Amino acid sequence: MNATGPGPAAPATAAGPAAVTADEMMTACAARALTDGMTCFVGIGLPSAAANLARATHAPNLVLIYESGTIGAKPGRLPLSIGDGILAETADAVVSVPEIFNYWLQPGRIGVGFLGAAQIDRFGNINTTVIGATYAEPKVRLPGAGGAPEIAASCREVIVVVRQTRRSFVDRVDFVTSVGFGDGAGHRERLGLAGAGPRKVITDLGILEPDGQTCELTLTGLYPGISVEDVRAKTGWDLAVSASLEVLAPPTAAELTALRQLQDNNPGELQANSASE
């Protein structure tokens, strides 16, 4: 959703002489957030690349669930869509879309879900509906919600992948499509939401995570060659920075090899702003 092409190359790393792209850095960071045995609600684009990279490297028992009804899919290449036949062919089971949502997602049986965003605010609320002051007469009407609100509400945790600009990282979203932490600490609990909300926001500059007390997104990790000032310049609020800010490791040679093998049959498939839809 709102996908863009591959990002600019990041600085060359020990992973090899070839430059690492921003998309590859984002994908590696997203993959590392997934643990072996976890159940993961996967979308097409970067989320699918990250989940399949994790399964090909450190998390072989990661259970991939796609919205089309495939459970335990094990594609050898990146699927072109949630309806790609390779997902059904390699799945442990194929069920109906209502079962995916009503039995697996809503009761909290899925560990992590990926989401993208057109806008995201300081409390991790996501807008993929409209840009502008009014819903009826927006400046831009976006693709909409799909299953994203259910994922945001019911997955045990959420990982958001989105390119960072002042247009996408705003103080307050124009429309709350998928709730993050609402207006701050305690909001999800007041709504009775089962999921814990956004755990990481992975951008083309670094990683943001919610503060343990306020739930406000805080910069916790930077990509090599990126400064705090670079991130703040592309954030629409006064961004908090963790006292334990770290520089994130670039993809290893093994991660790059596995990722590029997955992409070989899908040139152009890796899209940084792809959502779970």
Residue 2 domain-assigned (yes or no):
no
Query: Tens digits of per-residue pLDDT, 86-141?
Result: 999 999 999 999 999 999 999 999 999 999 999 999 999 999 999 998 999 999 99
- Residue 266's pLDDT is 63
Q: Say whether pLDDT at 56 is over 90.
A: yes
Could you confirm whether 67 is annotated as catalytic?
Answer: yes
Q: Say whether pLDDT at 18 is over 70.
A: no
Selection from 87, 31, 79, 86 nearest residue 59 by Cα: 31
Segment 60-65 mean pLDDT: 97
- Residue 4's pLDDT is 36
Partners of 209 in the beta sheet?
218
Q: CA torsion, points 252, 254, 257, 260, in degrees to nearest 10?
A: -60
Query: Tens digits of per-residue pLDDT, 143-172?
Result: 999 899 999 999 999 999 999 999 999 999
Q: How many domains is the chain built from?
A: 1
Average per-residue pLDDT for the chain: 90
Residue 88 domain-assigned (yes or no):
yes
If phi > 0 it is left, if psi is from -120 to 50 it is alpha, else beta; for residue 144 that is left
Query: Tens digits of per-residue pLDDT, 184-205?
Result: 999 999 999 989 999 999 999 9
Residue 275 domain-assigned (yes or no):
no
Structure tokens belonging to residue 68: 């089309």
Report phi then psi at 86, rounded to 5: -65, -25
Q: CA torsion, points 171, 113, 207, 81, in degrees to nearest 10?
A: -100
- Residue 265's pLDDT is 64
Residue 170 domain-assigned (yes or no):
yes
Residue 271 domain-assigned (yes or no):
no
Q: How far apart are the first and last CA of the chain?
A: 7
Q: Say whether pLDDT at 9 is over 60.
A: no
Segment 235-239 mean pLDDT: 98
- Residue 57 makes CB contacts below 8 A (sequence gap 6+) with 31, 254, 255, 258
| CATH for 59 | 3.40.1080.10
- Residue 105 makes CB contacts below 8 A (sequence gap 6+) with 41, 113, 147, 150, 151, 154, 155
d(CA 277, CA 275): 5
Residue 98 domain-assigned (yes or no):
yes
d(CA 36, CA 63): 9
Task: Say what the pTM is.
Answer: 0.87
What does R_g of the chain's alpha carbons equal in angstroms? 18
Segment 200-221 mean pLDDT: 97
Query: Tens digits of per-residue pLDDT, 245-270?
Result: 999 999 999 999 999 999 886 645 44
Range of the domain at 89: 15-263
Structure tokens belonging to residue 15: 């992973």
Q: Would you call 198 helix, strand, or coil by DSSP?
A: strand
Residue 64 domain-assigned (yes or no):
yes
Segment 22-51 mean pLDDT: 94
Residue 247 domain-assigned (yes or no):
yes
Q: Using 50, 70 and 90 to split pLDDT, how confident is the model at 41?
A: very high
Give me the catalytic one of 24, 67, 255, 269.
67
